[in-house]
Structure 1
Amino acid sequence: MSLVTHDRIFDGLADKFERGLYGTPRGTIRLAVLEHVLSHELPTDGRPALDVGAGLGQMSMWLAQRGHAVTMVEPSRDMRERAIANISGLAVTPVDAPWQALPERAPGPWGLIVCHAVLEWLAAPEAAFTQLATLLAPGGYLSLMVFNRDALRFSNVIKGNLDKALDDRLEGLGKRQRLTPISPLTDAQVRAWSAEAGLSLVSVTGVRIFHDYLADRDVSLDKLLELECRHCRQDPHWRLGRYLHYTLFKPETAS
């Protein structure tokens, strides 16, 4: 359970994300694995899509380039402005709103919702997930990616933070520029919430299952990408992905 009572909004951190994540192999691998998975799983009929917590707009751009009209929701002003600059000329409508305002600002129902690396930064991730499921149309897909709590524990052990791991003190506090999530999630939580919301699991994928544990990261990125994509769904490797990605489907009979 998060020790923080408010959501983490990334005002003032656009440069940090652009250079410190997407300008590094971490970001390259994250986007490559997602594209590898989503290009085969998401609908290709150009249905309108909602991108919740869009950040710098990479997924909004990816969806728009594949024919979707995208509503891009991002509450951080500088992240949103950077995203708007990145997606100029594409069918993307930016919306300044927190997840709590989605029923009023982007009610749908939506045939496709994307929510990547958002729930772990919220004080009430289960409530946000339930809202996403409510906004999803019957026959719709939810592309959900969350920060993996079990991988965070494993990473702390590797770094020698044994007391932190033993005490299960894994959550960040959401202060300054530290980027340890305030609500890292487990596979069991996501599966339980999905079942309760009437969503069926199409697939689960581990994102960055090898890279973050390398003792020496001066390796061939091409070979590492091949390994990440080859094993991202194989047990037990997917379970230690830094992120877990879920493709979820809302059956036509779901309430």
Structure 2
Amino acid sequence: MARQLDEQIAGRFPVGRRLRVLDVGMGRGTQALRLARAGHQVTGVEQDAQLIATARGELAGEPEGIRERVRIVQGDGRDTGVHFLPGSFDVVLCHGVLMYVEEPDPLLAGLARMLAPGGLLSLLVRNGDAPAMRPGLGGDWAAALAAFDTTAHLPHARTEANGATHARPGLEGRADRLAELTATLAGIGAPLHAWYGVRVFTDTAFTDTAADEERAQADLTTLLAVEERAGKTDPYRSVAALLHLCGVRG
């Protein structure tokens, strides 16, 4: 997903331009730190105090120049209008958050208002068009059958894009359909520009055992190449566990 995001940034902004980035639901700050290291000014918003403490700990180990480029604000993302002026950011990230928000449209509209003209909105959501894939591939036929008819109350997905712990076992969330989000993005003035699949094959390829972790690391280069290719290729991306949507502010 980081490669997909970098691809969109590179295609949208001049090389070397220092961007103003808002990362809503920053988790432990994985993406925020990565972008700050690349020279961008990053504001992270997170409501979980423990995750904020972890992010600050990670930030403390960075050189002063990088530390100065990161600001952390405690909040849930729905109060961006309180903290920031409209049009304050070139890039807004909202990764692994919408699935746990009951009414996402107001949040999305608020995030779009934060974008300057031509700004990029990056969303990582659960794929509501393929909820039966994971239980089906795992042989849980009853869960797969039930998943065909709903996008709500789905078992947790692995969404560690920001190093957050949103995806805990037993935690349920909602999935979003591509067509519905496409219409929403158009309605809030940040129409869909590009979209990708994330975790096309790897969502069910590995468990948390040490053997699987070792195998994943050994094959990491090839694994990433396969996922990157599948994430932008039909029909594979359509059945990914997660969707990465990139809208552009008009």
TM-score range, shorter chain: 0.7 to 0.9
In structure 2, the partner of 1:250 is 249
Distance 1:191 1:176 in 2: 24
Structure 2: stretches of 5+ with no match in the other structure: 157-165
Q: Give 1:200 shift.
A: 2.8
**C-alpha displacement at 1:182, in angstroms?**
1.9
Unaligned runs of at least 5 residues, structure 1: 1-29
Cα offset, 1:215, TM superposition: 8.0
Separation in structure 2 between the aligned mates of residue 82 and residue 215 of structure 1, nearest angstrom:
26
| Superposed displacement of residue 39, structure 1 | 5.7
| TM superposition score normalised by structure 1 | 0.76
Alignment-mate amino acid for residue 194 of structure 1? L
Contact 1:157 1:165 in 2 (8 A): no
Q: What SS does the aligned partner of 1:93 have?
A: strand
3-state SS in 2 of match to 1:194: helix
Note the 1:204-223 alignment, pairs <5 A. Answer: 204-214=195-205, 218=215, 220-223=219-222
Amino acid in the other structure paired with 1:239: S
CA deviation digits over 1:59-86, x for unaligned, max 9?
Answer: 1011111111111100100011111111
Partner of 2:54: 82
Contact 2:91/2:119, CA 8 A, preserved across alignment: yes
Whether 1:126 and 2:108 are equivalent positions in the alignment is no
**Residues matched between the structures, number:** 221
The residue that corresponds to 1:21 in the other structure is none
C-alpha separation in 2, matches of 1:134 and 1:73: 16
Closer, same or farther in 2 for the Cα pair 1:36/1:198, shift >3 Å? closer
> Which residue among 67, 70, 93 is the counterpart of 2:39?
67
TM, length-normalised to structure 2: 0.78
- Return the alpha-carbon distance in structure 2 between the equivalents of residues 40 and 234 of structure 1: 20
Q: Is the 8 A contact 1:156 1:164 kept in 2?
A: no
Tell me the equivalent position of 2:74: 96
Judged with a 3 Å threshold, the aligned counterparts in structure 2 of structure 1 residues 97 and 162 are, in CA distance, closer, same or farther, namely closer
Distance 1:209 1:137 in 2: 32
Check whether the contact 1:126–1:193 (CA below 8 A) recurs between aligned residues: yes
Pick the aligned partner of 1:183 from 171, 174, 180. Answer: 174
Name the SS for the 1:98 alignment partner. coil
In 2: Cα distance, 1:36 partner to 1:136 partner = 18
Does 189-198 or 82-91 show the bigger shift? 82-91
CA offset digits 1:191-233 (Å, max 9, x no partner): 0101111223221111111112438965623222111112211
Letter in 2 for 1:40: A
2:47 and 2:147 map into 1 onto residues whose CA distance is 32
**Structure 2: how far apart are the matches of 1:142 and 1:99?**
14
Kept in 2: contact 1:41–1:247 (CA 8 A): no
Q: Is the 8 A contact 1:50 1:70 kept in 2?
A: yes
- CA gap of 1:38–1:180, structure 2 versus 1, over 3 A, is farther
Superposed CA RMSD: 2.7
| One-letter amino acid of the structure 2 residue matched with residue 196 of structure 1 | G
CA displacement at 1:177 relative to structure 2: 4.4
Q: Give the distance between the partners of 1:120 and 1:176, measured in 2 at CA.
A: 10
Instruction: Measure, in 2, the Cα distance between the counterparts of 1:176 and 1:195.
Output: 28
Matched, 1:199 2:198: no
